Structure 1
Amino acid sequence: MTVIETPDTVQRAPAKGRILDTANELFYQNGILTVGVDRIIAQSSVTKATFYKHYRSKDNLILEYVRSRRASVEAQVRSIIESAPSPDSALLGILESVAGKLTAQDFRGCPFLNVVAEFPHPTHPARLIIAEHRDWYHETLFDLMRGTGHPFPGEAADEIILAKDGALAGGYAGDTIAAGAALGRVVKRVLAESVNA
């Protein structure tokens, strides 16, 4: 017998998770500064008391949004690396992952660069989380480039990060196909410089 799920039989996500999921969508699609707490409360179907119980302020929710985006990206990159047979194939897997984001229907640029644009002061707590994430990303790429035998793994990691940033920004502002192709050319050129390539 097939059971048809209805709103009454589907277990709802906890309120805190619903709030974060809603903020994740609204902040990314519309910008953080343009989305008010009342809109998040209404769209996540919670009360104002519930919102403030879990997050206390919009500022706390913003930080949780940035942390959740960071955790998601880092988990995805780790998964790609763990399943790849070699450092160069891991790099190509990361490239494919970024290129895939460019063509997603809800693509609106790099979430981290978007946050940086909205919070220009480098000591803002959200900016500090992003700085830590970028350091992690650079170290990860450095380790992969060293694994390929690249003579200058730090410089190679710099180039790939800059190309990734450019593809995500340029892909949102213009031609996603051209941005992905340019990113691919940079990664493949950098890999070709490796001793083990």
Structure 2
Amino acid sequence: MKNLEASSRATRALHIAADLFKQYGFNKVGVDRIMIETKIPKATFYNYFHSKERLIEMCLVLQKDQLKEKVRAVCESCQYSDLSFKLRQIYLLHADLKSAYYLLFKAIFEIEKLYPNAYQSAVRYRQWLKNEIFSLLMENKKTASYEESDIFVFMIDGAILGRLSSNKIEDQTKLLDYFLNMVY
């Protein structure tokens, strides 16, 4: 039972840390703040995570796993038989400041030099997403190019940047509609 309790506390700490990182950024949230918010003693914290970089990496893996599960569900669902609907669902899943992707997006810009191992988790997810998008495109359009999947991920990134500045998703979905018309 103790391992389950420890696992539960560590998972709760990961969720709290991820929320803090999303809200304030990786560099403005220190281990001390995370320990206060999670009510975990320093020794226990380091027993769970070993370092801030390991904590960040675990947060990113948690976000990445959640997203992969959701993207796979969209890709494999019979409910979303139309390519444009699947792509729209994947886009909306990512282009939200409250989504799991937002933390991975922030990591690309904030942690490359300080936490290179954690940074690689975010990079690997983006590569995986591009590959999934390319596979979807190839299933429906034999002349699809990998660049189209790059563009799709860049559109998601642009939508996040747009949301950060204006908080309107309408403008970003116009670009998505244009893209869907071009590839479909």
Same fold (TM over 0.5): yes
Alignment-mate amino acid for residue 91 of structure 2: L
Do residues 171 (structure 1) and 163 (structure 2) align?
yes
Alignment-mate amino acid for residue 29 of structure 2: V
When you count helix as a share of all residues, which structure comes out higher?
2
**2: distance between equivalents of 1:125 and 1:169?**
24
Q: How many residues align?
A: 178
**1: distance between equivalents of 2:74 and 2:15?**
24
Listed as ranges, the gaps of 5+ residues in structure 2 are none
How far did 1:13 drift?
A: 7.4
Q: Deviations over 1:5-28 (max 9, x none)?
A: xxxxxx997211121111011011
Q: Is the 8 A contact 1:29 1:108 kept in 2?
A: no
Listed as ranges, the gaps of 5+ residues in structure 1 are 1-10, 193-197
Inter-CA distance 50–63: structure 2 relative to 1 (3 Å threshold)? same
How far did 1:60 drift?
A: 0.9
Q: Percent identity?
A: 25
Q: Which residue of 2 aligns with 1:85?
A: 81
Give the TM-score taking structure 1 as reference length. 0.78
Give the TM-score taking structure 2 as reference length. 0.83
How far did 1:50 drift?
A: 1.4
Summarize the alignment of residues 107-186 of structure 1 with structure 2, pairs less than 5 Å apart: 110-121=102-113, 124-186=116-178
Structure 1 runs of 4+ with >4 Å offset: 106-109
Do residues 47 (structure 1) and 41 (structure 2) align?
yes
Q: Deviations over 1:109-151 (max 9, x none)?
A: 8322311221243981122112211111111000100111152
Q: Deviations over 1:71-101 (max 9, x none)?
A: 11111111111212244432132133345x2
